[in-house]
Chain A
């Protein structure tokens, strides 16, 4: 009776949380536009791939012919469990307004509710495209029963992996509460591991392509037979069916039996976590104590030459706050996804090419930092202080200029020092100096561009991003910045390389192209900077 009531409450909580998510997605016009862009991009890709899926359904003869079926079937439960674990760590480890919910219903109902809502969100984001692909494949295969059997296989698996992933995630959160030091260490380890994974994935991709990897041996090693047999049950009653296996049925039974066990474990873990004293509060206290002990004697003194201008003061303030609260820069980890291909290129480059590649990379890295560090959410960053900032005699121009300057101060040393340092690796001094100079100019352009694009789409809500709660820029803005500044920087650096190596001859076409490039780069950056100033000048708390 109690279980039935808790499940009923859980489903109600799940429905409410899911509705809240949907309303959150559609709460602003800009978010809707972002979603439409995503839909356009991924939906378009999906539509284009459907004919291929249909033909694959028509031509499929046996499940054993599906490439890498064994390792993929083994990977699916692992990936689903990991996904649930990470989502628990990131988002659903706690319910919003605990004081209300936990004094109203049993924690088991809350666990059921959070998991239900999460399954709903995953079904919305991934289930719909998956269903479209499955339906198309089924149509090609001519066996409608596949949809039913696939659902019968996927749903228990998804429930089991989600419940256990949740239990694991909660257990990890409990561990973090007990040992806050582990959380900090794991953040660093996780970051390094992610860089490693990106780098390795590049190498694996190439090795797969050139055939140097023993694919068959690897596939056999990574396949867990009972899981592959279980997923093959999805094809029962279709031309792709493989002989019935006892292991498959036993796996299905184990999955079904493990789900309630996982729910019990998850509930106990969650109760222990939610009703325990929050380590974070004590951490904050101790952090405050440490900060007090470390203190900041004296007033705010801006060093020269920054102290000469108001923009300089603002820039110094941003730098000091950044150093004291580095979590503000968690959005910069997006850079990791670009380090992978770059790292592989550097590793595989010849000794002659290493210096110039590193020099160009340094200029590019500095450019990225100059814009992305302080520029991509200026209004969101400054909003809490606006009642003070906008009512001082300091002009908005100085506020924006300070933000640009802070980015430049951070980016320029990287953009200049790395190219110059590569002289030791054989880069000619001329090339090194040229890359450094171009890098410095790029920093200026990127920092000016960033404040404009950031001001166009401010984010005010604090979010948990990579384990730190902070106001991070919109992903859309971050991607937009990269799509504009990335190619722009590459064009500039490639042109520089050809220029210093004497591969460019002065022609009207070259002069025109270069002029156009400089005009666009300078014009867009300056326009963006002016736009940011205007947004500051006309800002209102609406």
Chain B
């Protein structure tokens, strides 16, 4: 279990989440330093989304505690300015245009209108959405929606950005754009918590990786560390390591504690 670190952007201690007799999370602890891109991996049903909902304060753990930037996540009012969250399904309103949507979120985030306008223009331009900014989101492609939702999640320049499958289903160009932006966000000092199944993305951008399996973190460290601890050999990829740690948990039960 990682030690409690006051400087950590994300600090989760012994999170446990149960639904009746079903255990979704079983003693998950995380300590992610500021400015880190943390790749959060795990097979379907491992508990990744549950973890992200708890880390963003949208769900409460059965036991354990979470602090984001030193703030208890139960204090949502203080937490809100510090986090951005892009869930798997982009939270966009089809009836709005991208510009209206971003203006709306800017208002709710209390970003001064001039600042918001400048940031929206810059980000729309960076993502190549200026020409479509006034079209209704209902008419957008999946990639355009995902890019708009990404802009929305970073509009207030959060300290910690939670991304759930941000590149899923995107064409290579759009996926690369998001991937580059993740790096930019991290370079600006923010922490990125990236949950995805697309392992090359994690390999390309993550400083640290955590593998969740059956509600427990079974491997954690830099991508190279995880690969070597998973005993895949020096030539093994992250995919090999992922398959190894999630197929024979007992063999690696000590990996996270190493």
Chain B residues lying within 8 Å of A106, measured Cβ to Cβ, are: 76-77
B99-139, CB < 8 A from A: 104-105, 107-110, 138
Asked if residues A9 and B108 are in contact (CB atoms below 8 Å), the reply is yes
Chain B residues in 8 Å Cβ range of A285: 19, 22
**Mask: chain B, 80-98; 1 = CB below 8 Å from A; 0 = not:** 1001110100011101100
B89 to chain A, nearest CB (A): 8
Q: Tell me if B20 and A99 are in contact (CB < 8 A).
A: no
Determine the residue in chain B with the shortest Cβ distance to A6: B77
Give the chain A neighbours of B4 by CB distance below 8 A. none
Chain A residues contacting B56 (CB-CB under 8 Å) are 99, 103
Report B45-97 residues with CB < 8 Å from chain A CB: 53, 56-60, 76-77, 79-80, 83-85, 87, 91-93, 95-96
Q: Contact flags (1/0) for A92-106 with B, using CB distance below 8 Å?
A: 000011111111111
A interface: dominant SS: helix
Partner of A12, one of B22, B59, B95, B107: B107
Contact of B95 among A2, A20, A107 (CB under 8 A): A20
A24 in the interface (beta carbon within 8 A)? yes
Contact with B along A55-69 (1 / 0, CB 8 A): 000000000000000
Residue among A2, A20, A104, A285 with most chain B CB within 10 A: A104
Per the 8 Å Cβ criterion, residues 1-31 of A in contact with B are 2, 5, 9, 12-13, 16, 19-20, 23-24, 27
Whether B85 pairs with A100 at a CB distance below 8 angstroms is: yes
CB within 8 Å for A13 and B108 given contacts A104-B80, A277-B59: yes
Contact across chains for A282 and B77 when beta carbons are under 8 A apart:
no
List, in ascending order, chain B residues with CB within 8 A of A16's CB.
93, 96, 104
| Cα-based distance from A23 to B19 in the complex (angstroms) | 39
Chain B residues near A102 (CB, 8 Å)?
A: 58, 76
B152 in the interface, Cβ–Cβ < 8 Å? yes
Chain B residues bordering chain A, tally (CB within 8 A): 30
In the assembled complex, the Cα of A454 lies from the Cα of B93 at a distance in Å of 28
Does A275 interact with chain B (Cβ within 8 Å)?
Answer: yes
Q: Which of B60, B87, B96, B138 makes the CB contact (< 8 A) with A99?
A: B87
B83 to chain A, nearest CB (A): 6
Closest CB in chain B relative to A339 CB, distance in Å? 38
- Looking at the assembled complex, report how far the CB atom of A121 sits from the nearest CB atom of chain B, in whole angstroms: 14
Cβ–Cβ contact A97 & B58, under 8 A: no
Q: 1/0 per residue B138-149: CB within 8 Å of A?
A: 100000000000
Q: Which A residues have a C-beta under 8 Å from some C-beta of B?
A: 2, 5, 9, 12-13, 16, 19-20, 23-24, 27, 96-107, 109, 275-277, 282, 285
Can you report 14 residue pairs joining A to B where beta carbons are below 8 Å apart?
A: A12-B108, A16-B96, A27-B95, A99-B53, A99-B91, A100-B91, A103-B56, A103-B79, A103-B85, A104-B109, A105-B80, A106-B76, A285-B19, A285-B22
B: residues with CB less than 8 A from A are 19-20, 22, 53, 56-60, 76-77, 79-80, 83-85, 87, 91-93, 95-96, 104-105, 107-110, 138, 152
